Amino acid sequence: MSELLPWQSKSLSRLQARIEGGALSHALLIEGRDARSAEMFAGMLTKTLVCQQEVLGGCGECRSCELGLAETNPDRWAIKREDEAQIKVESIRELIEWSQKTTQIGRVKVAVIEGCERMNRNAQNALLKLLEEPTRETYLILVTADPHRLLATVRSRCERVRLGQPSDEEALNWVKRRLGDSDHHLASEALAFAHGEPLAAIEAISNGLAERLVEIDAALCAWFESEISSLELGRKAMDLAEPKDIYTLLALRLRESVRTEVRPAHEVKASSGIASQLQGKSSWQCRLEGLALVENAWSQSKTMTGLNQALHLEATLINLERVLS
Ligand SMILES: [Zn+2]
């Protein structure tokens, strides 16, 4: 998927003006809260850079654009996010070797490193050499959702481009348009679950996760009403989703229920039924304590090796029940 996301168009136009003026830095660090959105932006920037007509997003007609579309353009180099869990020094050496070759088709060469925070220390040190002695006509675009995992020396040698987020309304409209139907509820639930990231929301809807989370929500309601036990809720949730999604959903519902207490009513979006149900059930102090408990349990679930996830979730739910009652 490669397209210009509407909320990124201003940032891209600003960079395009700099390309036209010959004033764009040779090393850019594209930072976005959502990795996929940032990668899309990097894709559009690359197309703009390699296009012989310098058209925003590429003209689609010149030789560079044609090859670019087929991803066989020798002037482009990419380390994809799905390629490897860790980027090792060998990959960076190959990139440096490529950067020293002359351009084959267009005026410039462009290398993109998606998920650049995956570079290990040696890889980052090797990259520093390229950043310190940039090759003429070569642009290096680093993309990340987690810039703090990069060495400070790498960050400081790049021009940082921090991508903006869509407004809640813009995000919801985009997701609904993309879905091609008007399932307002599912779109807005998926967005809340994805912390307002439209691409992550679309993914949750397309892979069926959003609908399964609605089922877990229903089980949560029944649990709050003491219609099912913590054991039953835990089993049902584990049948429907991964631990990370279950803890994210629990934390989301608790956070929603606390948010209304600390913000003026007009700033708060309509909360889910569960948030209101929680508000009627326990004090905000208890819900805040419950949120800390869930976040702590999720952190243990991620980091403890050999943990029985089903038992861990069940214990968390029993503790949460105690805190909330
Ligand atoms: Zn073109």
pLDDT, tens only, 114-157 = 999 999 999 999 999 999 987 778 999 999 999 999 999 999 99
Let me know: does 253 contact 219? Beta carbons within 8 Å: no
Bridge partners of residue 28, in order along the sequence: 141, 159
pLDDT, tens only, 102-111 = 998 888 999 9
- Quote the percentage of the chain above a pLDDT of 90: 70
| DSSP single-letter state for residue 117 | G
CA of 106 to the centre of ligand 1 (A): 9
Tell me the pLDDT of the chain averaged across its residues: 90
Region 158-172: mean pLDDT is 93
The CATH classification number of 6-162 equals 3.40.50.300
CA of 267 to the centre of ligand 1 (A): 45
CA of 24 to the centre of ligand 1 (A): 18
CA of 62 to the centre of ligand 1 (A): 4
CA of 34 to the centre of ligand 1 (A): 28
Task: Order across the sheet with 76-79: list the strands.
Answer: 76-79, 109-113, 138-144, 27-31, 159-162
pLDDT confidence of residue 159: 95
Region 30-43: mean pLDDT is 94
Q: How does residue 297 score in pLDDT terms, banded at 50, 70 and 90?
A: very high
CA of 100 to the centre of ligand 1 (A): 23
pLDDT confidence of residue 122: 96
Sequence ranges of the domains in the chain: 6-162, 208-324
The CATH classification number of 208-324 equals 1.20.272.10
For 144, list phi and psi in degrees, rounded to 5: -155, 155
Q: What is the pTM of this model?
A: 0.81
Instruction: Match 């044609």 to its residue by tokens.
Output: 66
Q: Is 199 exposed, middle or buried (0-12, 13-18, 19+ CB in 10 A)?
A: buried
